[in-house]
Amino acid sequence: MNTKQKLLKDIFGHDHFRSFQEEVVDTILNKKDVLTILPTGGGKSLCYQLPTLLMSGTTVVISPLIALMQDQIKALKDLNIRAAMISSSQDNNENARTLQALLQGELKFIYVSPERLSSNDFIGVLHRIEINYFVIDEAHCVSAWGHEFRAEYRNLNRLKQFFPTTCVAAFTATATKKVEADIAQSLQLENPKHFRAKTQRDNLEIVCEARVTNGKTQILKFLQTHKGLCGIIYTFTRKEAESTALFLCEKGYSAKAYHAGLSSDVKNEVYEDFVYEKIDIVVATIAFGMGIDKSNIRFVIHTSLPKTLENYYQEIGRAGRDGEMSYVYLLYSKSDEIKRKIQIDEALDVQYKQTALQKLEQMYRYCISGNCRHKIIAAYFDDEIEECKHLCDNCTQGEVELQDISTQAQKYLSAVYRSHQSYGGNHVIDILRGSKNQKIFDANHETLSVYGVGAELSKNEWSVIADKLIDIEAIHLGEFRVQKLSSLGLDILKGNQKVFIEAKRMQPVVNVEEKPEELSLDDEIFEQFKALRKEIALSHEVPAYVIFGDKSLKEIATKLPLTKEAMLDVNGVGEVKFEKYGDAFLALCHEIKETYQDKLEEKPPLRKLTKTYLDTHELLKEAKSIEDIALIRDLGTTTVLSHIQLLFEHGKITQAQKEKLLEPLHIPLGIKHYIEQGLQLGTLKELHHYLSLYEHLYGTKKEEMNNELREY
């Protein structure tokens, strides 16, 4: 007899449920309404895919995106679960065959768009079948308060009118408390159970930087330090998407552009090339990605400011859905905010304009803030979390050099005050820089005592100072973004409060090129498994991540199982998938064991992470340096270094984090010279052996050697 745990392992390949999954599954099995808010990658689909296998009848899944439906159906069919969809993308014959299979009880899942539920004919079809429960995916689209409201979702209250005894399971990754309440009310859910996970994604590293010119050099640097990964680059315009994709291709990357101006055939080709791993990078406008079910996207780059934190959170959520470490990189400039404002001003609805401008302001404040980025996002969604300590640029920057900008702040605040607190930031900066703008003369502001007193600073530098004053709430923004002084602002103006800013924010960003590194043995082996997965995916006509996710693939590449039993111990490998693909992967494991026999024997086995290593990891989360950890734990520097290396090998810290920790360390030039001379005669391991032997044989001569080094 099937049980939850047996299905979880045999069908889905997992040994344990993730947070909230089992509770949601149990609620559905008990035929109760449920509203679940899980971050992207939290395992929402399993919550509604597993229960139906323990129930009679068909599950009706309502989703706004055809691409998402197609991907989920392929994944379900690969697990030998009967699923299909009815959509406008299929011809009449295909839809007719699907309807016939549905009426005959042959399907466990039927996927439809919300518009389909507006049809009384389709409602009539649903009355003729046994429905175990309804699933509403992307449920935030129901709410007028959400960032992607869709009018057709409002009609989904018909479900409770026509099927009052059938439970509804609604899912979303993004919802404030206000949106959550609106979803439950709009869908007329009956005493629903609410499950709301923390918004923080523990596997996302977030970095925001001021953009230099078009940002292409910064993108290139990012890709060089995150080599071999697949991801999405979001651009502001179609033209930028095209030019960036061309630039990356010229630099040797496999990339294609995707935007609304392309034909359907071209867009479908780019989409399929990406999910089947024929290309690594898609450069796109926001038209791409919402419906993608690809679990192993490793990075998301924004080349300009997103519209809202909701959009941003959903877009970065496409990275690392399999739980593996992934990277988020946002490039921004003040000009982005201006472009977004122009778009918003084109809208006719005054209330929409005000709300959109407020959300844009919050997005820009996020970019320039020095606070924990995960914490800011969580607060936006009414969630309280601790600072991430090691997963964003602000928390990992260590000791920050501060610059006193109190005098400049007083000048700025004085200009705001003397212009009667009736203008926006650009006008205030024009006053300070002595601009000849006609608007200055129309307001007689060239006669103000502060006119031209800030000419020594650029417009960008004054923008940074203004951003800081807004960030610390010395300035409040009124209607139409007019700047007004707060009580703190008055204190600063009077000289009662000092203002400091991170020195780097007042400095221009410099371009730095980095050379790509050679593949390690582990990377080389992993690439072979990726190539096999891609080959199998193409032959089975399913996306590569449907075969095995990156997490499972890395575990296979590390463990190199040689038997079925060993293969089934890998997380994500169940009986169903082993029967389909197991033999091919076992064959490659045997081949690799033979091909790399000498190298694998030289490679020491991966040690377990015992408490001492985890204690070091906790201190790293608190942004402690190697020197700090050595002092706190009373350990030698080399011991701490060995901990860091093992934590890196286990994926607890990233390559970038490791390199940043090692930056302050250096070897005296004389010692370095001696080591390099020794390496001409043998390996580092041999050199270490002879140094130890030297200490025992010639210990009395150590002082003489030390003196020689000092003279050197």
> Across residues 340-366, what is the average pLDDT?
80
Same domain, 369 and 485: no
- Smallest Cα–Cα separation from 440: which of 8, 481, 450, 334? 450
Which CATH number covers residue 472?
Answer: 1.10.10.10
> Across residues 645-656, what is the average pLDDT?
78
Contact 636, 627 (CB under 8 A): no
- Residue 491 inside a domain? The answer is yes
Residue 672's contacts (CB-CB under 8 Å, 6 or more residues apart) are none
The domain boundary residue, chosen from 196, 214, 246: 196
Residue 289's pLDDT band (cuts 50, 70, 90):
low
For residue 604 the two structure tokens come to: 């020491």
Using DSSP, state whether 128 is helix, strand or coil.
Answer: coil
Spatial separation of the C-alpha atoms in residues 532 and 545, rounded to whole Å:
12
How high does pLDDT run on average in the chain?
85
Residue 597's pLDDT band (cuts 50, 70, 90):
confident
The domain boundary residue, chosen from 572, 602, 632: 602
Same domain, 57 and 120: yes
Task: Using the predicted structure, report yes or no on whether residue 513 has a pLDDT greater than 50.
Answer: no
What is the pLDDT, as a whole number, of residue 311? 86
- Residue 504 inside a domain? The answer is no
Contact 583, 536 (CB under 8 A): no
Same domain, 164 and 101: yes
For residue 398 the two structure tokens come to: 């260590």
CA distances from 583 to 162, 385, 672 (A): 49, 45, 50
- Residue 512 inside a domain? The answer is no
pLDDT tens profile 531-567: 999 889 888 888 888 898 888 888 898 889 999 998 9
Same domain, 633 and 555: no
Same domain, 274 and 151: no
Same domain, 169 and 227: no
What is the pLDDT, as a whole number, of residue 230? 92
DSSP letters spanning 612-670: HHHHHHHHHHTT--HHHHHHHHT--HHHHHHHHHHHHHTTSS-HHHHHHHHTT----HH
Same domain, 572 and 548: yes
- Residue 49 inside a domain? The answer is yes
Same domain, 209 and 312: yes
Which CATH number covers residue 529?
Answer: 1.10.150.80
Tell whether the torsion through CA atoms of 546, 551, 555 and 558 is positive or negative: positive
Q: Are strands 168-172 and 131-136 parallel, antiparallel or unpaired?
A: parallel
- Residue 607 inside a domain? The answer is no
pLDDT tens profile 56-90: 999 999 988 777 788 889 889 989 999 999 988 78
- Residue 503 inside a domain? The answer is no
Residue 412's pLDDT band (cuts 50, 70, 90):
very high
The residue type found at 241 is: A
Report how many domains make up the chain. Answer: 5
Same domain, 355 and 463: no
Contact 183, 196 (CB under 8 A): no
Residue 144's pLDDT band (cuts 50, 70, 90):
low
For residue 364 the two structure tokens come to: 């820009």
> Across residues 504-531, what is the average pLDDT?
68
Range of the domain at 559: 521-602
Give the DSSP letter of residue 392.
B
- Residue 513 inside a domain? The answer is no
Same domain, 412 and 382: no
> Going edge to edge, which strands form the sheet with 34-37?
83-85, 109-112, 58-62, 131-136, 168-172, 34-37, 193-196
With residue 266 as reference, give the H or E element that holds it: helix 264-275
Spatial separation of the C-alpha atoms in residues 460 and 333, rounded to whole Å:
9
The domain boundary residue, chosen from 467, 498, 529: 498
Measured torsion, CA atoms of residues 340, 346, 348, 349, in degrees rounded to the nearest 10? 0
Task: Using the predicted structure, report yes or no on whether residue 167 has a pLDDT greater than 50.
Answer: yes
